Chain A
Amino acid sequence: MAITKKDVEYIAHLSRLEITEEEKVMYTEQLSNILEHVNKLQAVNTDKVEPMIYAIEMKNVMREDVVKPSLDKQKVFAAAPSIENNGFKVPKII
């Protein structure tokens, strides 16, 4: 399954990434190679293999419903580009 330049543009748009024409060409090739490589696995017969959901044999890792301290305001906004009324201020988003 080959990736087209259109696919790359679509994925970039979904991820809100701006990429150059050269990058589009490069990513088209790289992503195609990755898919091609993974595609080799299709040759393996997996009829009797249960799909793996989680990489480690682990289940039901849970915590008790107990309150822990939250962050100080100073730390919360440490990386905020803009703040108003204790809110993160962002450009118009509707």
Chain B
Amino acid sequence: MSLKEKYEIVIGLEVHAELNTKTKIFCGCKNEFGAEANTYVCPNCLGLPGSLPVFNKQVLHHAVKAGLALNCTIAHKSKFDRKNYYYPDLPKAYQISQFDMPIAVKGYLDIVNKQGEKKRLGITRLHMEEDAGKLIHLTKTGQIADAEESLVDYNRGGVPLAEIVSEPDMRSSEDAYLYLSAVKAILKYTNVSDCNMEEGSLRCDANISIRPFGQEKLGVKVEVKNMNSFNNVRKAIDYEVERQMQMAEAGEAIIQETRLWDAGKAKTFSMRGKEGAHDYRYFPEPDLPILETSAEYINTIKAELPELPLQKAERFISQYGLPAYDAGVLTSEIPLADYFEKVAKLSAEPKLSSNWIMGDLLAKMNEAGEADIEKVKVTPEKLAKMLGLIKNATISGKIAKTVFEDMYATGNDPEQIVKEKGLVQITDTKAIEEVIDKVIAANPAIVAEIKGGKVQAMGFMTGQIMKESKGKANPQLVNELLKKKLGV
């Protein structure tokens, strides 16, 4: 029995998403990434005595919207609490967060794997809090552990965050990857966060444990931090699960601890020097009055919710007959989904549209490092027009690749490209017959074989004819005419 058959993997994720607002959560400083250090700070951000927080309306709006999109119950009464700890990224020595009365609770999220199977994962809660400042560790060796001093930038301090805590419902790194992708898609669809992992606007910690199959009690959990991409989340979980299984097999006890993922070494490391258990001594934030959300307020936000990723994917499957996998990829972001829908409608060829978008277009964009589909020169109209040219047999699918390349680079009209480059498919029977005659004359032996009953050799002849016509002859016509000429 393999270890994977012996032990069940249990994963829960904590996702922190920076919210899309103009200003910070408790003051009017700009919420913007990439500015010169400590330029968006005020007495509040610095924790200066006498400064008081005032809550940003837009944060509540975003949090409620995200909560609803994650199928949570929105709390009618909610409050902020102080989470106390001493660290230089937090000048007040406490983080304003939510403890026992979060804004949203008890939600769920459905994930769909490559086989099209659906799985429902529970969401424990979503709460609002302020981000901490950013630390830059000064080190001569490049090793964080050797750092002598650190620099603190408080621009990020006070940026609004939503923390989304899942139930321990994931059973593999793949589940975790799909969950993260789904959370990201939902937060982007609702415009609550831009979810840019490179800029740190989406961060993820994983709680990982194992237990023998059949055991109800959860194993000792290890928290893994510092995973800065979706792929690293997957790798870190796989590494950690393997480590725990080997320990269990060797009869060693797994310790409850926080470990850091080192992407360079592809390993997790224990955070040494950290005190055993956290003692945050939460208490209600006396500087912020309670929050009450009326049914009317919640309903107004509910009405603003767009069609969500999974609903859209299901519609793409039923309306356009797409496979579940295609539907999942095409609905990962709204602009991509919109692009597909336009092409599908204009061309009336949804599967062909999906093939060209998922294959050629996304590959080209990836190659060119272009992330924004709205900036691509191949507009939906142009792609649909090109698909039309394939459909009415003006060009073959093979020629279309050439047209597409050109169109991607120049943004020219596909018809114009076809005309200028002389790529029009030859559908003129006489012209094709001339080519066929030429090829027949050049290959008497093979012609004899075909006439003698070796029909498989037809393929060779067709290939030669297509080559002779520089790929421009209509393949169906070639087949038809060749059969007629050879009398098969």
Contacts and interface: CB of A to CB of B under 8 A. Distances in A.
A48 interface: no
Given A62-B56, A65-B57, A88 B28 contact: no
Interface stretch (A24-32, A38-46, A50-58): A50-58
Contacts of B151: 84-85, 87-90
Interface in B38-61: 38-43, 45-46, 54-58, 60
A20 interface: no
Contact of B37 (A55, A71, A86): A86
Contact of A71 (B43, B148, B292): B43
B281 interface: yes
A20 B39 CA distance: 40
Majority-rule SS of B interface residues: loop
Given A16-B86, A61-B55, A84-B151, A67 B291 contact: no
A76 B46 contact: yes
B56 A65 contact: yes
A59 B289 contact: yes
B21 interface: yes
Contact of B38 (A56, A69, A76): A76
Contact of B291 (A59, A86, A90): A59
Interface string A63-91: 11111111101001100000011111111
Contacts of A49: none
B22 A54 contact: no
B152 interface: yes
Contacts of B27: 68
B58 to A, nearest CB: 4
B7 to A, nearest CB: 32
B149 A54 contact: no
Contacts of A58: 289-290
A14 B85 CA distance: 8
A83 to B, nearest CB: 9
Interface string B81-104: 000101110000000000001000
B174 to A, nearest CB: 32
B382 to A, nearest CB: 39
A72 to B, nearest CB: 9
Given A14-B279, A59-B292, A67 B23 contact: yes
Contact of B147 (A54, A67, A92): A92
Contact of B36 (A16, A68, A86, A92): A86
Contact of A70 (B41, B55, B136, B138): B41
Interface residues of B, number: 53
Contact of A92 (B41, B43, B55, B150): B150
B475 to A, nearest CB: 60
Contacts of A71: 41-43, 46
Nearest to B133: A88
B38 A92 contact: no
B57 A67 contact: no
Given A56-B289, A59-B292, A93-B150, A87 B136 contact: yes
A86 B152 CA distance: 9
Q: Interface centre among B28, B88, B135, B292, by most A CB within 10 Å?
A: B28
Given A67-B23, A86-B38, A88-B38, A54 B284 contact: yes
A61 B52 CA distance: 12
Given A54-B290, A60-B289, A85-B151, A93 B87 contact: yes
Interface string B283-320: 01010111110000000000000000000000000000
B14 to A, nearest CB: 21
B43 to A, nearest CB: 7
A60 B39 contact: no
A70 B154 CA distance: 12
A61 B54 contact: yes
A90 B154 CA distance: 13
Contact of B21 (A14, A65, A70, A85): A65
A70 B289 contact: no
B218 interface: no
A1 interface: no
Contacts of B154: 88
B149 A89 contact: yes
Given A53-B290, A87-B136, 16 more contacts: A16-B86, A54-B290, A58-B290, A61-B54, A61-B55, A63-B54, A63-B57, A65-B57, A70-B40, A70-B41, A70-B42, A71-B43, A84-B151, A87-B151, A89-B151, A91-B150
14 contacts: A61-B288, A65-B23, A67-B28, A68-B27, A68-B42, A69-B28, A71-B46, A76-B38, A85-B151, A86-B39, A88-B151, A90-B88, A90-B149, A93-B150
Interface of B: 21-23, 27-30, 36-43, 45-46, 54-58, 60, 79, 84, 86-88, 101, 135-138, 144-145, 147-154, 273, 279, 281, 284, 286, 288-292
